[in-house]
Structure 1
């Protein structure tokens, strides 16, 4: 991935106990750095074994702050800090109907499922069939069987389960695809990397009766959106 140095593949040697300790240490680090504040997000990150969502030869790097390659076209699993970076501004919480654009490894999807709880809903859309198959297998193996997985164009959203309280895009665009804003509840929030002036800004959008309110969180680096709205993302 441009801008990042991906470590070399190797045979994994770490034990379950070592991964558990690294997971706990990562949560402490994220909290100290100010990325992680919500108790529900913190509990989810302590519970979900990130190493089980990493390709075999990259497992030992599961808790390092680097993106790692996944099956599929330009597919990666984001750095650990990226998940609270997105979910904290969203205010993702118990009972939310959540739409994720870009399934990736399924790790963020599992976190979201833990956060929204039994009364919530998680829908995730992935355009790449190889990435989808990898994530679907990871979610199945870790016991997440009630997530709605969709093979399709994330920019179009998923009208069948709309409206959503929260929407998270994990691919960069020049503008938020209109179908996603249409499927967002009034008062809901959407977060996405948006290309502006040669950089990508992580943008939080709040849907209000008079339109949308917009807040820039920070600069990020994500792969470009694919599908119907890809041209807008690549201009």
Structure 2
């Protein structure tokens, strides 16, 4: 048992083998021997093999784990327990009956033990065929012998810094991929396993064809995370009109966001442009609060015990700054995490005791704050009561719309070029907007800019929104429109949508339309 680690043994004690084997094999549940389930046609490895594999893989909280040949589901559930609520564990099978057996075992054990295994998922697919989701895993366990020439196929799904353990020939081997993608291997011990099922050449070719076709029909939407966009305004001099001073350091801010996000504090500094903060506050604490103000970002929980000391210090700094700036919800959130961490002994405990329920509650708190920020941003358009000097007026379709320069410049390359070109728009407080769109559609576009709401799109306005996205060179919004339209392509509208895609430079939609036309033509032949 030289390979055994306390973490691996703990996992096997918490999730015992006996709850996963078929009833006819119950007598051998805890014998250190492999078991053959003849009824369904699969094997269950001996417990000492599980310990060797788990110890060598050294599965960490938050990782993605793949169990190839999941069988009874035992190893898949052990992986789910070790990756914890922030990780995922996938079991892969090629026989539906076996996959369902493993899935049912996981469900029954979770209900019986109270151990939350909702991060465990079973999938039906041969490991050598393309993964439609193209998931990359941190740890991979292979439960059957893999031909030497096929190991490279499995390694494609292994993340940088990852480990894969598999029987190859008569050796149990662990493969490690470093951060540069270089592979090293180590032989552990001699073993005998059943063989993985290798797809035929025809199956491989068909699967590869279907995978490539699926990719060609996929609309890729660029990441347009408004919270990341606004997060870039933290301590940014872009349109800044307010400065914090903290022991000789200048931290830039924006009165608009302070008024919107911490109105109680803003009332105390409304007439000021520079505020000196008490030296008891920490710089990283103030930055943490500003991240909340601009992007609703809140500190993530710590998964590793060795990181707790640093995390406690950071949470305390953020909590103190949040209290000073009268942001009660953030201060309480930090206090709740600190209370949780206070029960952890960094010298003896191996895990931070965060359950799936706790994780979901913390995530719900963060999601609620992001939704609140989106509502507040949306209200800026309808209730434009803002600090002096923070607004700019757009004239479009005979109407005047009060907007906010910092938001337009932060969120739109079109408007950023307006404000930084050195032309008259750079200095004007009234900007004329002309284009091939109606006023209502322009207002919807502004709403998208402010709060990232792609639900402005519907069946009635989809082409109009695509037109305005093209005009303002809004690639993410355009891709959202393309995705919306591609989901409704049929033989009757494909030619219209092809023309629409050409009119508004929607290249992804155009590709999908051409694929559909070619498919219809081949069927008719």
**How does the TM-score come out when normalised to structure 2?**
0.35
Secondary structure, aligned partner of 2:128: helix
Q: Residue in 2 aligned with 1:203?
A: 173
Q: Tell me the alpha carbon deviations over residues 113-145 of structure 1, each in whole angstroms, 9 at most, x when there is no partner.
A: 111111111011001222112111111111234
1:79 maps to 2:49: no
Q: Residue in 2 aligned with 1:146?
A: 119
Q: C-alpha displacement at 1:210, in angstroms?
A: 5.5
Larger RCO, structure (CA 8 Å, separation 6 or more): 1
1:118 to 76, 85, 103: 85
CA contact (8 A) 1:101 1:155 kept: no
Query: 181-190 or 169-178: which moved more?
Result: 169-178
Q: Residue in 2 aligned with 1:160?
A: 133
Secondary structure, aligned partner of 1:205: strand
CA contact (8 A) 2:35 2:44 kept: yes
1:64 maps to 2:34: no
- The alpha-carbon distance between structure 1 residues 174 and 119, as it changes in their structure 2 partners (threshold 3 A), is same
1:173 maps to 2:140: no
Q: C-alpha displacement at 1:165, in angstroms?
A: 0.6
For residues 53 and 210 of structure 1, the distance between their equivalents in structure 2, rounded to whole angstroms, comes to 36
1:223 maps to 2:194: yes
CA contact (8 A) 2:3 2:56 kept: no
For residues 86 and 159 of structure 1, the distance between their equivalents in structure 2, rounded to whole angstroms, comes to 27
- The alpha-carbon distance between structure 1 residues 161 and 142, as it changes in their structure 2 partners (threshold 3 A), is farther
1:182-201 paired onto structure 2 within 5 Å: 182-195=156-169, 200-201=170-171
For residues 67 and 165 of structure 1, the distance between their equivalents in structure 2, rounded to whole angstroms, comes to 27
Q: C-alpha displacement at 1:77, in angstroms?
A: 1.1
For residues 130 and 211 of structure 1, the distance between their equivalents in structure 2, rounded to whole angstroms, comes to 38
Following TM superposition, the consecutive aligned residue runs of length 4 or more in structure 1 with deviations greater than 3 angstroms are 156-159, 176-179
For residues 135 and 111 of structure 1, the distance between their equivalents in structure 2, rounded to whole angstroms, comes to 12
Q: C-alpha displacement at 1:36, in angstroms?
A: 1.7
For residues 14 and 181 of structure 2, the distance between their equivalents in structure 1, rounded to whole angstroms, comes to 40
Q: C-alpha displacement at 1:217, in angstroms?
A: 0.8
Q: C-alpha displacement at 1:152, in angstroms?
A: 1.3
For residues 131 and 190 of structure 2, the distance between their equivalents in structure 1, rounded to whole angstroms, comes to 28
CA contact (8 A) 1:101 1:157 kept: no
1:21-40 paired onto structure 2 within 5 Å: 33-37=1-5, 39-40=6-7
CA contact (8 A) 1:157 1:180 kept: no
Which consecutive residues of structure 1, in runs of 5 or more, have no partner in the other structure?
1-32, 231-235
Q: Residue in 2 aligned with 1:9?
A: none
Secondary structure, aligned partner of 1:81: helix
Structure with the bigger percentage of strand: 1
For residues 157 and 61 of structure 2, the distance between their equivalents in structure 1, rounded to whole angstroms, comes to 20
1:129 maps to 2:96: yes
CA contact (8 A) 1:103 1:124 kept: yes
Query: 147-156 or 170-179: which moved more?
Result: 170-179
1:51 maps to 2:18: yes
For residues 7 and 134 of structure 2, the distance between their equivalents in structure 1, rounded to whole angstroms, comes to 24
CA contact (8 A) 1:157 1:179 kept: no
CA contact (8 A) 1:95 1:121 kept: yes
- The alpha-carbon distance between structure 1 residues 125 and 172, as it changes in their structure 2 partners (threshold 3 A), is same
Q: How many residues matched?
A: 192
Q: Residue in 2 aligned with 1:15?
A: none
For residues 96 and 161 of structure 1, the distance between their equivalents in structure 2, rounded to whole angstroms, comes to 16
Structure with the bigger percentage of helix: 2
1:82-93 paired onto structure 2 within 5 Å: 82-93=49-60
Q: C-alpha displacement at 1:229, in angstroms?
A: 7.6
Greater radius of gyration (CA):
2
**How does the TM-score come out when normalised to structure 1?**
0.75
